[in-house]
Amino acid sequence: MLRIAFAAIFAVTGFLLGREAYSNVFSLHFGNQGVQWAFLILSPVVGALIGILLAPLAQAFFEDELVVAERAIERLAPAELAGGALGLIVGLVIAWLMKSILFEFISITGRAGSIVAIVLYLIVAIFTAYLGARVGAKTRFVPLGDAAGAGGGAKIVDTSVIVDGRIVEIVESGFLEGLLVVPRFVLRELQAIADSVDSQKRTRGRRGLEVLNRLQETIVLNINERDYPEMPPGSVDGKLVRLAKELGAKLLTNDYNLNRVAQVEGVEVLNINELANAVKPVVLPGEELHVQVIREGKESHQGVAYLDDGTMIVVEHGRKFIGEGTEVVVTSVLQTVAGRMIFARPKREGVGA
């Protein structure tokens, strides 16, 4: 249908241009009536044929530019798109107001002046429309919600959270509300990890893809197509922070460095590790625990045990209990960036003392 439309438009345009060429050029140079009749018929026909031949080229150019425009629009948030549209309208209105001035002062010079005025008007219209669209997209005149369409409740998921896997249980428990947004560049990074020659990385990547499949069975994931070609391909963290700022969304991550950078940039961060530490059972000094000492500690006399939630317990003078279950008394609790660490001593040793 588009091909027929282009062919018809260019054929009609070529026909009209051929007729104008005959009237203003060819008819002035031939006195013979037969020759003039020949050119009267041939000029529009040849013009129409040339138009039909040029139509596929114009159509291909139009389709290529349309694809570029679609990709550019996909990278815009609704607020940016609405602001850009408003800016475009304002720019065209300004150009239309300027048109009367151009025609009034230039068209008085005659036909040539009118043509110059039309050309200048087209240039000014294109410039003001482009400028208005750019300024409108950046300033966001229209206060719409984020691109995910979830108001301010959208959460952008980082690669580290997907590979971690605990997000599935958190979503299923109902503690994580709102729309989850997975950027396309995060999917590309996850695919690159899954295709890595390193077996450990490949395992992590494949686990992340399985987690995504489980998430899609539980909730609807929003795949955001926006990308930032001007940023290096490997700067996923920078893209995540920028996307979160533009969408007004929260960033869901386990990455400590990304967490800090996002906070500096004013992006709200949800860290699953911090959530896990927050819901761990509180252990107080003096409390008695039954633990299984499994290995040596940093010091030669220490033993290391773990609670069911993975919390490390350093047992002083616990090396002799490696491989055994024993009662310990908590002496202190240390909260670190990596999590909570508990220090204890064997109860039997304390009793004997």
- CATH code of 239's domain: 3.40.50.1010
Q: Inform me whether the pLDDT recorded for 161 exceeds 50.
A: yes
Give whichever of 3-12, 121-130, 240-249 has the largest mean pLDDT. 240-249
The residue to which tokens 């391909």 are assigned: 233
- Average pLDDT of span 310-331: 89
Strand-by-strand arrangement of the 312-315 sheet: 288-292, 325-335, 340-346, 312-315, 303-306, 295-296
261 and 330: one domain?
Answer: no
97 vs 318: which has the higher pLDDT: 318
Q: pLDDT tier at 59 (50, 70, 90 boundaries)?
A: confident
Structural domain includes residue 98: yes
- pTM equals 0.50
**Which residue range forms the structural domain that includes residue 98?**
77-144
Nearest to 215 by CA among 171, 182, 250: 171
77 vs 123: which has the higher pLDDT: 123
215 vs 73: which has the higher pLDDT: 215
CB 297 within 8 A of CB 318: yes
160 vs 96: which has the higher pLDDT: 160
The residue to which tokens 């013979």 are assigned: 32
288 and 264: one domain?
Answer: no
Rg over CA atoms, the chain? 35
CB 97 within 8 A of CB 82: no
80 vs 31: which has the higher pLDDT: 80
Q: Inform me whether the pLDDT recorded for 119 exceeds 80.
A: no
Q: Is 142 left (phi over 0), alpha (psi -120 to 50) or beta?
A: beta
Q: Inform me whether the pLDDT recorded for 88 exceeds 90.
A: no
Task: Report pLDDT for 76.
Answer: 63
- Average pLDDT of span 133-157: 60
128 and 175: one domain?
Answer: no
Structure tokens at 189: 């990074």
Structural domain includes residue 56: yes
Q: Give the separation between CA 100 and CA 105, rounded to whole angstroms.
A: 9
- Average pLDDT of span 101-110: 62
Structural domain includes residue 223: yes
162 and 250: one domain?
Answer: yes
Q: Inform me whether the pLDDT recorded for 283 exceeds 70.
A: yes
Task: Report pLDDT for 150.
Answer: 42
Structural domain includes residue 149: no
Structural domain includes residue 336: yes
The residue to which tokens 């999917």 are assigned: 187
Structure tokens at 92: 């065209």
Average model confidence (pLDDT) across the chain? 78
82 and 105: one domain?
Answer: yes
- Boundary (domain end) residue, out of 74, 89, 106: 74
Say which CATH number the domain at 304 has.
2.40.50.140
Tell me how many domains the chain contains. 4
342 and 304: one domain?
Answer: yes
Q: Inform me whether the pLDDT recorded for 313 exceeds 70.
A: yes
242 and 313: one domain?
Answer: no
250 and 339: one domain?
Answer: no
Neighbours of 125 (CB within 10 A): 17
Q: What percent of the chain has pLDDT over 70?
A: 76
Task: Tell me if residue 134 falls in helix, strand or coil.
Answer: helix
Q: pLDDT tier at 15 (50, 70, 90 boundaries)?
A: confident
Structural domain includes residue 150: no
Structural domain includes residue 2: yes
Q: Is 15 left (phi over 0), alpha (psi -120 to 50) or beta?
A: alpha
- Boundary (domain end) residue, out of 277, 301, 319: 277
180 and 269: one domain?
Answer: yes
303 and 348: one domain?
Answer: yes
Task: Report pLDDT for 147.
Answer: 42
- Boundary (domain end) residue, out of 114, 144, 174: 144
Q: Inform me whether the pLDDT recorded for 200 exceeds 90.
A: no
181 and 264: one domain?
Answer: yes
2 and 13: one domain?
Answer: yes
The residues pairing with 327 across neighbouring beta strands, listed in sequence order, are 290
201 vs 3: which has the higher pLDDT: 201
CB 293 within 8 A of CB 304: yes
Structure tokens at 46: 């040849």
27 vs 350: which has the higher pLDDT: 27
